Structure 1
């Protein structure tokens, strides 16, 4: 099936300025996805719009509905309600050859050699075995695993086997790659390698979507995220828009401790030793600076710090969801 970018819908950023329309076409568009299991609603009305060439994170704790959402997008399971459009197709299976998928349940045949395992995963997406073997050798060499090419999977460490499966996800050169908790089980060095790989894929025009319960990965990698909690998505859009839900924090150090200038400090200002901390006033910092200077406060330092994605997650999803996110064990991959 040929896919033309002109057939794809255009992205609009939920939560962003409604006057702004993202001109990028969409790799994924999902609206109102619902999935129930034995009367339990695992996903409840999820909307997603993932631009072509983006690194897009689905961020939430274990049990939030991440894996179920990804499986509906892929057509592994069908939604009970809602619609999805993947790479321009209404049916995910029509474009399966253009999708790479790393599931949360890692699994390779232990007796297979690394090269054969990668070629086999490519063959499942329509890549001829001979070409798959050639590309497998190339990928293993490129990613520093050439020495493991002829080793059986059972002879590899858990982290190495996971890297082999990641390469098998990419061997057929997909247009869209979906990773479910890809960083679980990797040490810090290999997590960094995977982050660089994901950025490289996006730079080459491949769309990357991944689920995670680790905010740091999403904050480093993503321009856009969906925050999911309790099967719902209270926010989907640019990371910057999520962070802007919380006013930047000002940290001020003054030589004087008293004076008429104190009246210019916002109502939420609190003293921490020699410092004052408070939310940036809606009028900006300039009127405050003027009052501090005219009041001879003696400004020793002033910094303005924008909220991080963690603070945004707490503000958007709530403290309980944030605690669940932090308590999700690394070995438990989020659903």
Structure 2
């Protein structure tokens, strides 16, 4: 769907993007991650042709990105992109017309989405009368109304309470199931874990990590395990097939975090422990996307 090749962008001596390349497959949900000021929004603006790169190329569905692709893209910026004094219904009709829909078709689709998101009485409300989260709902509708092939969402959950955040998450999944490719930028790492197939991490203008989430997490495995047991407290002063990292004692059990010694497997650990205690849980500790994010960013800071 989207091939981003060696994009460079500078602003008055500041480098926003330095040779960034990404491949976003058709039908993916792709997370664009990075701390504030990393270059994410600059890249999104270039994809939307709001600004142009200093060098590099972007290909959309096999064609070099051009003005004809705008109608096939839906973009919801982090900042509110709505006119405060206009009525919501009139405003979304206007935005839909810019994307090529007729007035009648835009009206029909807006009514469908208003009912779907339980905001049927909003047609004549003005943007300034709505909370930040409610404005975000209206902006989401404007983004997806023309049924774009590529949907770009910059902090889509900003301003939402947990109920509405979950509602929008489900809508994103449904749009993806119908064939839309989703690119979204967010600081909510739990949403990345739940939604994304692949991610890219940008920091200080450069891509420092990308790939499928499962592959990335597996690459950061460190032979660390969490074990919960009941019985007599284990004496860790002798020889054992692992290194004890930490230990928590509760009234009825002990929880330990261990790192396996070289050449040792989890089965070896079980064989060592079972004669001594009752094992309730043995679980490998695989870093979350959030933990990997923090680790990679701190390495470069």
**TM-score (normalizing by structure 2):** 0.88
User: Any unmatched runs of 5+ in structure 2?
Assistant: none
Shift of 1:276: 2.9
Q: Measured at CA, do residues 100 and 290 of structure 1 come closer, stay the same or move farther in structure 2, by a change above 3 Å?
A: same
Q: Which residue matches 2:83?
A: 109
Deviations 1:252-273 (A, max 9, x none): 336352389x523324644444
Ranges in structure 1 where 5+ consecutive residues have no aligned partner: 1-26, 322-335
Asked if residue 199 in structure 1 is aligned to residue 170 in structure 2, the reply is no
Query: In structure 1, the residue corresponding to 2:148 is in which secondary structure?
Result: coil
Which consecutive aligned stretches of 4+ in structure 1 deviate over 6 angstroms post-superposition?
A: none
Shift of 1:37: 0.8
Q: Any conservation in 2 of the 1:54–1:207 contact (CA below 8 Å)?
A: yes
- Alpha-carbon contact 1:73-1:86 (below 8 Å) kept: no
Aligned to 1:297: 276
1:114-170 per-position Cα deviation (integer Å, ceiling 9, x unaligned): 222111111111112221122111211121111112223233333222211110111
User: Corresponding residue for 1:250?
Assistant: 225
Mark the CA change 1:165 to 1:34 in structure 2 (over 3 Å): closer, same or farther.
same
142 and 64 in structure 1: CA distance in 2 versus 1, 3 angstrom threshold: same
Contact 1:99–1:175, Cα closer than 8 Å, also in 2? yes
- Retained in 2: the 8 A contact 1:259–1:297? no
Q: Which has the higher strand share?
A: 2
User: Who is 1:306 aligned against?
Assistant: 286
- Equivalences, count: 292
Contact 1:74 1:93 in 2 (8 A): no
Of residues 266, 282, 291, the one that matches 1:285 is 266
Whether contact under 8 Å (2:33, 2:187) holds in the other structure is yes
- SS of 2:135's equivalent in the other structure is helix
- 1:286–1:171 CA distance, 2 compared to 1 (3 A): same
Deviations 1:191-223 (A, max 9, x none): 111111111111111011111122122112112
Aligned match of 1:180: 154
- CA separation in 2, counterparts of 1:250 and 1:116? 57
Aligned to 2:209: 235
Please, what TM-score do these two structures have when normalized by structure 1?
A: 0.80
TM-superposed deviation, 1:89 = 2.2
CA contact (8 A) 1:112 1:153 kept: yes
Q: How far apart in 1 are the matches of 2:32 and 2:296? A: 14
Decide which moves more: 179-188 or 283-292.
283-292
- Give distance in 1, aligned partners of 2:19 and 2:163: 37
* Structure 1 pair 142–302 and aligned structure 2 pair: CA distance change class (3 A): closer
SS in 1 for 2:242: coil
Aligned partner of residue 287 in structure 2, secondary structure: coil
Which residues of 2 match residues 5-20 of structure 1 at below 5 A? none
SS in 1 for 2:63: coil
Preserved CA contact (<8 Å) 2:133 2:158: no
When the two chains are superposed, the root-mean-square deviation of aligned CA atoms in Å is 2.2
